[in-house]
Amino acid sequence: MAVEISNPNLRLSKDVVKVWTINEIIGNGIGFLVLGVLFYLDHRFLWWEWVGWLLLVATGISVITAIWDIFFHPKLKYKHWRYEIDEEYLKLRHGAINEQHQLVPMSKVQSVATKQGPILRRYRLYALSIETMGSSHLIPALSKDEAFQLRDTIARYAKVTEEGE
């Protein structure tokens, strides 16, 4: 008799859309800065003509991907990201086009930690990192209370204790 495992249905913090958008703006901004430097160098040193055309094609592709990355992808990612934990499993589901379902047995969890970079800190969010022997899993944006409560619950279910205790 097979036991039915339910799909996860808890959502990330809605502010993750802003965090992902800011990350994409920064990443694409750096990419456009590099393209700008290459255009300057092409003009300054009179590289072969095909280099200028290649840079124009790269810029066109970069503009299209930047529009996708900044305006559409974060909302789509948020819409499809789900997680849930119980005493047996950490369940993760994400991806709109390539949907991934991950089932991590609590008995395999080796460590669990919260992370917070400057952009997450701005929105008072934490990422939760769950490590197993062969892989690493991330729940990208939770409120502080939810992240710390989830971290402690996963540690208790996995019988993991923090170092120094």
Q: Tell me the pLDDT tens digit for each residue of 45-55.
A: 988 999 999 99
Predicted model pTM: 0.87
Amino acid type, 20:
W
Asked if 56 and 43 count as a contact pair (C-beta separation under 8 A), the reply is: no
Angle, to 10 degrees, between the axis of helix 16-45 and the axis of helix 73-80?
150
**Coil, helix or strand at residue 17:** helix
Residue 160: pLDDT above 80? no
**Coil, helix or strand at residue 76:** helix
> Which residues have a Cβ under 8 Å from the Cβ of 84 and sit 6 or more positions away?
6, 8, 9, 10, 90, 91
**Coil, helix or strand at residue 85:** strand
pLDDT in tens, 31-67: 999 999 999 999 999 889 999 999 999 999 999 999 9
